[in-house]
Structure formats: C-alpha cells, structure tokens
Structure 1
C-alpha cells in the first residue's frame, strides 16, 4: 500500500483553510477562486499581473479565470490598466479595497498562530515546503512562479537589483514578489 501521509496532511490543511474561508464574513461575496486570484495579484510582479499570469498560476481554464476576474472588477476589488508598451495587453491591479481584503484574510489567523507556535521550526517547514513545491513543478514541468529574489535571473547590484532575463532594473521590494518567468538557480557544480 502506498504511503499517503504527506498527501493526507496537505489535504487536511487545505480543507481547514477552505472551511475557514467559508466562515469569514468578508468572504460572503467571494468564491474561493476569486480569493486565490486576489492573493496572487497582491503578491505578483509587473511581469505577472496579467489575465494569462493568473490563469497559469491557478492552473484553470481561461474562461473560468476570465469570469472570476470580471466579477472581481465588478466588485471594485481589481482594476485593469493597459500595458504602456503593448496596448493589446492589460495588467491587473488590486484596488485599495482589494488590498485591504487580502490583508484581512491572508494568511488565515489560525495558520499564523500555528506558525508562531512552531517557533524556529517554522522556518525549516517553510524551506521544506518550498523545496517540495519546486520539485513537483520541475518534475511535472509546470511554471515555477517563484519569488523574484530566488530566480537565476535575479542579479543583486550595489544600488538595487536587475532582472537579467528582461534587462530591466528592479524596484525596491520586487525581489519579494512572485514572477511567472521564475527559473530555479543553476545547481552548484559538484567538485
């Protein structure tokens, strides 16, 4: 029989988060997918805040995501703005109301308290979960969507940072945002 322990733990935590979300008064008018889209948009960079970025990150169909984004826009939680260089593209940004909603809901208070209770071990857990996610993404050949500062293209400079993929300078704080172009660093050579 296959050991399902890891799956069971991850599934149970996900179930608890879904149950928690259903109980939140602020979630009364939101579907879980809409919260996921808002959360992504709150944490992604300027290269990733597009409808396609949301679609790829959530791993859903374009139609499903499109309807969710329309609903979020109608609720005044996001707004679209045309790309400065390519008028056919749009970027999605949280409104102040959308940002306040995410700040109030994510992460769930019960998860934050549990992480605090773990103390120093929480950092090790976060590292292991990041490594697990990166391994799954690599093995299944799905987009990485990692933090900019952990990407092989991120270059720290004396006066800021640079994305070597785009050749553009990064703004302060960009390193902490999710990028859809994220690529794992090259492995260290074995000597």
Structure 2
C-alpha cells in the first residue's frame, strides 16, 4: 500500500507539520486566525491572547521548532520576521516604533513548538498580567535584536546547563 500524498499546500520534505497550528495558519488551513500579512515565506496574525493593544505573531511557513533551532544562516529570516512585524504595526496605525517590543520566548516557555516572533505595541501598555512573559533579558524572552546578535557570533543556539537562564551559542 502506498502512503497518501500530502495535499498540494502541504510540504512533504519536513517543512510542514500537519499537527502544528502555526503550520496550518501558514498554509491557510486555519480559518479562525486573523491574518494581517503574508508572503511566500512568512505569515503575520493576531495573537489569540493579546498582552498589549497590538499583539501579533510572525511565523515562518517552514516548520522551525524554536529560536534554539536557528543557525547563523537564519539571521536573514529573523530580520524578515522583524520587518514584517514592524510593517504590520505601521499598517495598524502604530507610528512610535520606540514603544514596541519584538522577541521570542525561549523553550520551555513557548506555547507552540513553532518559531514565532511576538510583536507588541505599545510596549508601555503590555498588560501587568503578562509583562513577566515579555521582559527582555530574562530566562523566558529574548529580543529579536539580541537573538540576531548572538547568531552573528556563533554556530548554533543551545541551552545552558542552568535551564535556559541565558542563551549562549556553541562553536
């Protein structure tokens, strides 16, 4: 018996995980997501549990587990994700780009095992209830800029023996 062929919008080379909600959103198979921007590589949509007046997620269509799966060749992807996030904020009327927060949760603090950039604005209005999840420099959250800087200096992102207190990169 031959295995079933993936639907035309599924990727058969491991870039698509049919059990991943973000893969489904990226492929257009989740009608509940409020997509506000997309291109061939990325999709931006509203977070279902917003921590700020504007809270979006930018995900690659390719299934990448987390920031710990990234290597230096992914710097361009991270930059494109940030650019899409900023463009989404601009399209939604946000003009003060100094009062935004762009970043990634570090495992095990990710709710979905698919790389996703949190885009929040105004950062000064992040809910007191959720601020602990989006505080830069903590064991839970790394800014887009810090992640790019670390990727430029190393080969791969790895966990620390202290349980991800600080990300570091192995050579």
Output the TM-score relative to the length of structure 1.
Answer: 0.27
- TM-score scaled by structure 2? 0.29
Which structure shows the higher helix fraction?
1
Structure with the bigger RCO (C-alpha within 8 Å, sep 6+) is: 2
Structure 1 or 2: more strand by fraction = 2
Larger Rg: 1
